[in-house]
């Protein structure tokens, strides 16, 4: 077919996988170029540290390289990469929270603090607050928020990436948002809304 | 008065994941319930805050480091580190919890597979004997096949990569592998599964089998680059991990 002659940049993910497995140089690199920000973003928002996120990103692509031959194409490449990324990031985040007693460092926002217009500075500060709040969630809560609200996966996609049932995603994402809402001042800290006690009231 | 719906439905509703009767009931409930509407507002605000986070992009320097790191992993092995300990992992949960002896086998030959042929894994002791599960008999057979190289497929792979790439992320801290006296716990299991990626093990054989009634991946590795040479069997399932080490000599 003529598809495999198409320039690499316009090849679909599936075509890239095929072409890589057929031995074409540059196909795998295109996969990295195309998806590294996505993988890094998941890792950064879940781990909280750019160094950790970089390690995770590298791990993910090295794994992808080694395992691409058995990637059956039943799932989308992005689905597979999301799964690798979030699980690697979760493992690292859990280990960090278990061992380190110091709070996770703030995520340095990509737009380094430039003296700019007022709104920009305010927005940057709010973003830092939100990121700090995210890092105060448990890694599991962070993961569902990142996958759904930042990576735009639906509940089924989140469930698939994490290997948990749909009901778990539903419950976890709600509790995560309630906790975030409290941390960010949208709810009173002791608002009792995340429990299902409410559901038992007549 | 209407009953409050299950509280987590509120997020599902905002996310468009609620359909049919559940959705209709919630929508009927909302006008009359300030509390639920308040929760809904809070959920929406939290979503908006997160959505407003700037997109993450790797810097040029990070990209360069990533590319270099990937290239390094693709082209070379990292220097090996000797294994520092012999891990014993006992089966947890069973009333007749036979402790699994991590077999220490003296391998005289550089090629570990030959040594495995001559040494019967006599100390391998598994609790479950039912044929539906991965019994001791099957373990011996698998080891024999491993030793003979039958159906061997070689690929440079690390255990954690293998497990993770199949979608198995062993539950950290939730593993049931514990052993008395050896100081091993789920963290140790975790640490073993997460060993240095620079010590590639050759995947000699992999099977999907039932292990203790649960679907698990069985990976047979030869680790020729490590010193001492050894062969390993990893059993990985979503809830925990078990590792049998077959070491050349007892390690401290």
The SS3 of residue A173 is helix
Q: Kindly list the residues from chain B whose CB atom is less than 8 angstroms away from the CB atom of residue A195.
A: 7
Residue A20 pLDDT grade (very low, low, confident, very high; cuts 50, 70, 90) = confident
Q: Kindly list the residues from chain A whose CB atom is less than 8 angstroms away from the CB atom of residue B69.
A: 54, 58, 62
C-beta of residue B186 within 8 angstroms of C-beta of residue B175: yes
Closest in A66, A178, A193 to B157, CB measured: A66
Structure tokens at B197: 């990626």
pLDDT tens-place string over residues B129-144: 222 333 444 444 544 4
pLDDT tens-place string over residues A105-114: 555 554 445 5
Closest in A58, A62, A150 to B50, CB measured: A150
Total residues found in chain B within this entry:
252
ipTM for the whole complex: 0.83
Question: Residues with Cβ < 8 Å from B141, sequence gap 6 or more?
Answer: none
Beta bridge partners of B203: B155, B221
- What is the rounded average pLDDT for all residues in chain A? 82
DSSP label at residue A70: G
Cα distance between residue A12 and residue B159, in whole Å: 30
Q: Tokens 């778990």 correspond to what residue?
A: A168
C-beta of residue B44 within 8 angstroms of C-beta of residue B73: no
Top residue of A181, A192, A194, A202 to mutate, by most chain B CBs within 10 Å, is A181
Structure tokens at A31: 């996969």
pLDDT tens-place string over residues A44-94: 999 988 999 999 999 999 888 888 877 766 678 998 999 999 999 999 988
Lowest mean pLDDT among A127-131, B126-130, B132-136, B220-224: B126-130
So what's the pLDDT on residue B236?
A: 55
Phi first, then psi, for residue B97 (nearest 5°) are -75, 90
Structure tokens at A121: 């500075």
So what's the pLDDT on residue B88?
A: 31
Crossing angle for the helix pair A77-99 and A13-21, to the nearest 10 degrees: 90
């Amino acid at each position: 077919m003529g598809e495999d002659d198409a320039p690499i940049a316009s090849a679909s993910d599936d075509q890239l996988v095929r072409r890589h497995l057929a031995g074409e140089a540059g196909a795998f690199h295109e996969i990295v170029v195309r998806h590294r920000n996505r993988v890094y973003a998941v890792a950064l928002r879940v781990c909280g540290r750019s160094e950790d996120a970089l390690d995770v990103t590298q791990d993910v692509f090295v794994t992808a390289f080694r395992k691409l031959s058995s990637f059956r194409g039943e799932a989308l490449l992005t689905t597979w990469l999301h799964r690798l990324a979030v699980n690697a990031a979760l493992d690292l985040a859990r280990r960090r929270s278990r061992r380190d007693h110091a709070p996770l460092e703030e995520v340095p926002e990509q737009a380094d603090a430039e003296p700019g217009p007022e709104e920009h500075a305010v927005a940057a500060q709010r973003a830092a607050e939100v990121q700090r709040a995210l890092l105060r969630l448990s890694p599991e809560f962070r993961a569902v928020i990142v996958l759904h609200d930042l990576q735009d996966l639906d509940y089924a996609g989140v469930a698939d990436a994490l290997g948990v049932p749909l009901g778990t995603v539903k419950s976890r994402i709600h509790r995560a948002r309630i906790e975030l809402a409290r941390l960010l001042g949208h709810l009173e800290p002791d608002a009792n809304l995340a429990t299902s006690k409410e559901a038992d009231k007549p | 008065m209407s009953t409050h719906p299950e509280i987590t439905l509120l997020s599902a509703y905002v996310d468009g994941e609620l359909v049919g009767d559940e959705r209709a009931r919630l929508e009927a409930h909302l006008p009359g319930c300030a509390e639920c509407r308040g929760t809904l507002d809070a959920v929406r605000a939290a979503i908006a805050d997160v959505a407003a986070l700037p997109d993450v992009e790797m810097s040029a320097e990070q990209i360069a480091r990533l590319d270099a790191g990937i290239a390094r992993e693709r082209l070379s092995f990292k220097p090996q580190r000797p294994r520092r300990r012999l891990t014993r992992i006992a089966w947890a949960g069973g009333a007749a919890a036979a402790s699994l002896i991590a077999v220490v086998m003296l391998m005289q030959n550089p090629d570990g597979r030959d040594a495995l042929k001559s040494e019967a894994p006599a100390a391998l002791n598994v609790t479950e004997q039912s044929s539906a599960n991965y019994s001791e008999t099957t373990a011996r057979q698998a080891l024999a096949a491993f030793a003979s190289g039958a159906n061997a497929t070689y690929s440079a792979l690390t255990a954690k990569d293998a497990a993770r790439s199949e979608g198995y992320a062993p539950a950290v801290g939730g593993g049931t592998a514990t052993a008395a006296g050896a100081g091993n716990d789920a963290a140790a299991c975790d640490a073993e599964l997460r060993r240095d990626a620079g010590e590639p093990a050759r995947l000699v054989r992999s099977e999907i089998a039932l292990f203790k009634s649960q679907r698990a991946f069985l990976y047979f590795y030869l680790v020729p680059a490590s010193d001492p040479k050894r062969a390993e069997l990893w059993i990985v399932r979503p809830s925990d991990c078990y590792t049998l080490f077959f070491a050349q000599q007892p390690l401290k």
